[in-house]
Amino acid sequence: MAIPDLTLSSLRNRFEGTSTLFGTQKTAKSSIGATSGVSPSPRQGLGYLAFGSGHVGISPRRQAFTFTSGFIPNDTSGGFKASHPPLDHAKTAERERRNAEIEEHERRAREQRLAHIQEEARKGEEDWVRSGGILRDADGRRDMVRTEAIRAELKLREYEKVLVQRWERYERRWGELYPSFKGKEISNAPALPPLRFVDIPWPVDLGDDKREVELGDITPARVEQFLLEGLKVRGCKVTKKERVRNSFLRWHPDKMTGLLLRVVPEDVDDVHRGINTVILCLQKLKAELNIHV
């Protein structure tokens, strides 16, 4: 059996004139040549694809490439470099300022939330200890150290509250006493409501004893304690010198003269002796603190 010749040249000779796959048609012009003006020539030993009329040929000439993006050619390196608009420093600074304000606002908000949580926790612990409870640590054990610390704090607050209320009551009584004859001449004092010994706001404290102050209760030690003890309250901005100076001006003998004129006759002697005790105590404190009035 003979083996057929399948070489490229034999196939071309076999199909020449009857196939459009290889060779050149002799009866019609190539549409590619008609369109582009260039007649393509087949390479030796190879054919080319033929297209019917109506197909647009592709020009073999290379087309120039135009850049339309935001990049421009870099003449020195052959790459591309971006063209950016100039920075607006004013807008940048304003944006940074706003960001800083936002961060500061958020920081303060976090601190306020944390302080609120801590305050609520503190109040809860104090209420628990005030009711007789005992605090526990993170492991559930009885925390006597913190419990005793809160008990001491509660006791101190109650003590300070008593001192503040006592001094406010003392000032209020003087405020009620002096306006009754403030701005009036001493000669008009007897016309004002009379005063008794117990009506004078004496600077002494009898503690839990609710009875009225008597002459024997007015001692230099009690007067000094009453006047200066309130300065121990946390947050008190009055100095010791200011307290002694103001008290001395209040109890000055010249001012007490008008007050004595209002005292009922049977109490004048006791009131006078009580005033002298207060003044002697204040003179001693004034000398110790080197206060000049």
Q: What is the pLDDT of residue 29?
A: 46
Any idea which of 38-47, 168-177, 265-274 has the lowest mean pLDDT?
38-47
Instruction: Give the residue numbers spanning the domain of 251.
Output: 163-288
Q: Does residue 180 sit within a domain? A: yes
Q: Does residue 76 sit within a domain? A: no
Contact 204, 223 (CB under 8 A): yes
Q: What would the mean pLDDT of 6-19 be, rounded to a whole number?
A: 54
Q: Is the pTM of this model over 0.85?
A: no
Q: Return mean pLDDT, the chain.
A: 78
pLDDT band for 6, please (50, 70, 90 cuts): low
Sign of the CA dihedral with 222 first, then 168, 274, and 280 last: positive
Q: Does residue 25 sit within a domain? A: no
Is the pLDDT at 3 greater than 80? The verdict is no
Q: What would the mean pLDDT of 201-220 be, rounded to a whole number?
A: 90
How many domains would you assign to the chain?
1
Q: Does residue 28 sit within a domain? A: no
Largest separation between any pair of C-alpha atoms in the chain: 167
The pair of structure tokens assigned to 180 is 């009754």
Q: Does residue 253 sit within a domain? A: yes
Is the pLDDT at 21 greater than 50? The verdict is no
Q: Does residue 51 sit within a domain? A: no
Tell which wins on pLDDT, 24 or 203: 203
Any idea which of 26-40, 91-105, 255-269 has the lowest mean pLDDT?
26-40
Any idea which of 87-101, 119-133, 163-177 has the lowest mean pLDDT?
87-101
Is the pLDDT at 14 greater than 70? The verdict is no
Q: What is the pLDDT of residue 179?
A: 60
Any idea which of 42-46, 250-254, 262-266, 271-275 has the lowest mean pLDDT?
42-46
For residue 281, give the nearest of 216, 221, 226 by alpha carbon.
221
pLDDT band for 9, please (50, 70, 90 cuts): low
Q: What is the pLDDT of residue 90?
A: 84
Q: What is the pLDDT of residue 28?
A: 45
The alpha helices in the chain, defined as continuous H runs, are: 8-15, 31-36, 89-130, 144-177, 220-229, 240-250, 253-260, 268-288
Q: What is the pLDDT of residue 13?
A: 58
pLDDT band for 192, please (50, 70, 90 cuts): confident
Q: Does residue 29 sit within a domain? A: no
Is the pLDDT at 251 greater than 70? The verdict is yes
Q: What would the mean pLDDT of 226-243 be, rounded to a whole number?
A: 95
Q: Is 38 left (phi over 0), alpha (psi -120 to 50) or beta?
A: beta
Q: Does residue 212 sit within a domain? A: yes
Is the pLDDT at 273 greater than 60? The verdict is yes
Q: What is the pLDDT of residue 71?
A: 47
Question: What is the percent of the chain with per-residue pLDDT over 90, rounded to a whole number?
Answer: 54
Q: What is the pLDDT of residue 193?
A: 81
Is the pLDDT at 15 greater than 60? The verdict is no
